[in-house]
Every structure is written in C-alpha cells, then in structure tokens.
Amino acid sequence: MSFAYNTKTEVCAIPTEDKHCKKALVAGMLAIAGSKSGDVVKFSTENIRVKDLLVGLVGDLYKAKVEVVASERMRATLFGIEISNSKEMLEDIGMDTIAVHFNYDILKRDCCKRAFIRGAFLGGGSVTDPTKSYHMEISTKHLTIRDEFLRLLMRFGIKAKNMERNGYHVFYIKGSEKIQDMLALIGANRTTLKFVEVKINNEVRNNVNRRQNCELANMDKTAAAASEHKKALDKINTTIGIDFLPPDLEPIAWTRLENMEATMSELGGMLDPPITKSAVSRKLKKIIEIAKTLEQNEDNREY
Ligand SMILES: [Zn+2]
C-alpha cells in the first residue's frame, strides 16, 4: 500500500468521541471531496477504512440513506458512497445551498477545526513517500471553499500554496518541516515519526554523498597540482638541471619528484627539518615560476 494510503488508515483509527467533532470530520470529508446532485451527496474512496469511517459516522449522526457500491478499478477497489434523505447533514456539511460553503456553526471549537482538516485529508488528501520527495496535498472541486480552507489551515500555522490541476483546486505543502507540522495537525503521529526517520536517513545519505564529492574534488585538485609540478620539474631537469635550483628549493624539488602522489602536508613532513603545507606550496609555486621563465626564454630564442 502507498504511503498516503497507510497515512489515511492511521488517521481513520484516531478515536473521535464528541458529536461536534464527528460532524466536523464528516463535513471535512464531504465539503472537500464530496459532490452533490439534487439532495444526494456522493463520495468515493479507494481506502476501505475511509469508507467504513464515513459510513459509520453518517449512520451515527444522521437519519440518512447510505448506499455503498464497490467497483474494481485497475488494481484497486473503488467505493462509491451515496448519502441521501438528510437535510440536517446537508446543512452541517455546507451543501444545503447550490455552492458548497463553509459552515462556521460547526467549526467554532478548535477540536472541530482540527477534525475538519483531518476529514479534508481523508477525503481529498495525499502525501508522497518521503524517500521519494516531500509533497503533501489536498484537492477539491469546490472553488467556493478554497479560500476558507486556506484560511483555516493558516490558523494552525500551515501555509499551503494553491494551484489548479485538471479542474481541481489543489492545496499543497512542500518541505519536510511543513509536512511534519501538517501530519501532526491531523494526528498522524506514527506517520510523523516514520517521516522524521526517513528524513534523517535522507540527510545522512546526502551528507555522505556531499562528503564523497568533496573528497573526490580534493583528490582531483591534488592530482592536477601534481601534474603541474611534474611538468615544471621536467622542464627544469632537461634545461638547467634540478641541482642548479636555489638551495632552498632543491630539497622540495627532489622530494616532489620522488613522491608524485603525496599531498602538500605529506611533502612538508618528508623534509628535514619538516616545513608547513603553505611553505611547501609557496616553494613549489616558485619552482613553477622558474620553469615558466625557462620556457619563455626558449620561446624567445626561437624568434
Ligand atoms: Zn469538536
């Protein structure tokens, strides 16, 4: 099962005791993801727990007619739910008018606002497996509740962005921190922990990659420097000879020629007395300068 499916299954198991919260939960599911034709509200889900939860809550709260039709679709079962004969439910969920609206009467309490958001996620939400990317979204077909829903999320410090996709208004959240906040808000504690664990693994892996890249880059630099030194020393050797280098440069020249793989600090340690990495680098730069001068003199002679 997908990460989103499992998250919904977890959220469905959160106990909702109070009638006010139950109503808000149903409203969240239906106002976000339900559609209305006449006085019939339709809702569909692939998640059997979401189906059971909604059917159970509606049966518990309202005298309504509830019908469920299961159909096979691709590799999943789609549950289509039709709820009719409940004027009270239509009012509660904000579907008693032509356009779906927010019914603030049932969203006064903080607990109910949370329950509504939980319902919205169960109805139209999705969250990507954090090993793949950080993305969470809730989508609805109802333009009329888009701004209210964004404001509701804002009340809990969740800044969702919004875009249009295939006739849906999609509220989405990017970034691991924000998604964690949202998961915590809808009470998906187990998923939040799993999310944090994956995030830490991702970070460790990224750090290892970064460090390896860094080490490779350093190795490249060492190799590039070595080849430059080799070229300079060869030039000197075939023209004036290493022996003719100034006395302060001669030891490092020989040491370098004999240890082409060594780093600057390793070379410094090989000298007697040892010298620092920056002293090695300074001396080798002078050697390169000398080689360049020799080269230029040769070039001049050709003219
Ligand atoms: Zn409540």
Q: Beta-carbon neighbour count of residue 174 at 10 Å? A: 14
Distance of CA 263 to the CA centre of its chain: 39
Residues 160 and 252 reside in one and the same domain:
no
Res 288: pLDDT: 94
Query: In angstroms, what is the span from residue 119 Cα to ligand 1's centroid?
Result: 13
Residues 154 and 259 reside in one and the same domain:
no
Q: Which of 139, 184, 194 is nearest to 161 (CA)?
A: 139
**Euclidean distance between CA atoms 49 and 122, whole angstroms:** 10
Domain span including residue 34:
3-187
The total number of structural domains in the chain stands at: 2
Query: In angstroms, what is the span from residue 28 Cα to ligand 1's centroid?
Result: 12
**Quick check: 258 pLDDT over 80?**
yes
**Quick check: 303 pLDDT over 60?**
no
- pLDDT tens track for 116-175: 999 999 999 999 999 888 999 999 999 999 899 999 999 999 999 999 999 999 999 998
Q: Which two tokens stand for residue 46?
A: 């692939």
Query: In angstroms, what is the span from residue 57 Cα to ligand 1's centroid?
Result: 14
Residues 280 and 176 reside in one and the same domain:
no
Res 302: pLDDT: 52
- pLDDT tens track for 273-299: 999 999 999 999 999 999 998 888 877
Q: Which two tokens stand for residue 217?
A: 């880059």
Query: In angstroms, what is the span from residue 72 Cα to ligand 1's centroid?
Result: 36
70 occurs within a structural domain? yes
Res 119: pLDDT: 97
Query: In angstroms, what is the span from residue 175 Cα to ligand 1's centroid?
Result: 29
Residues 235 and 168 reside in one and the same domain:
no
141 occurs within a structural domain? yes
pTM: 0.70
pLDDT band at 301 (very low <50, low <70, confident <90, very high): low
Q: Which two tokens stand for residue 138?
A: 């809730």
Amino acid at 115: A
Residues 96 and 177 reside in one and the same domain:
yes
Query: In angstroms, what is the span from residue 33 Cα to ligand 1's centroid?
Result: 20
Task: State whether residue 144 is helix, strand or coil.
Answer: helix
Tell me the torsion sign for CA atoms 74, 76, 77, 82.
negative
219 occurs within a structural domain? no
Mean pLDDT over 72-101 rounds to 90
18 occurs within a structural domain? yes
Q: What is the separation, in whole angstroms, between the first and last Cα of the chain?
A: 78
162 occurs within a structural domain? yes
Query: In angstroms, what is the span from residue 54 Cα to ligand 1's centroid?
Result: 17
Q: Which residue has the tokens 């002679």?
A: 301
Q: Which alpha helices (H) appear in the chain, and where do they start and end?
A: 3-12, 19-33, 48-61, 87-92, 110-124, 146-155, 176-185, 189-238, 250-258, 264-270, 277-302
CB of 49 closer than 8 Å to CB of 12: yes
Query: In angstroms, what is the span from residue 115 Cα to ligand 1's centroid?
Result: 7
Residues 258 and 150 reside in one and the same domain:
no
Residue 300 vs residues 89, 227, 297: alpha-carbon distances, Å = 97, 25, 5
Residues 123 and 249 reside in one and the same domain:
no
- DSSP symbol at 145: G
**Euclidean distance between CA atoms 15 and 18, whole angstroms:** 9
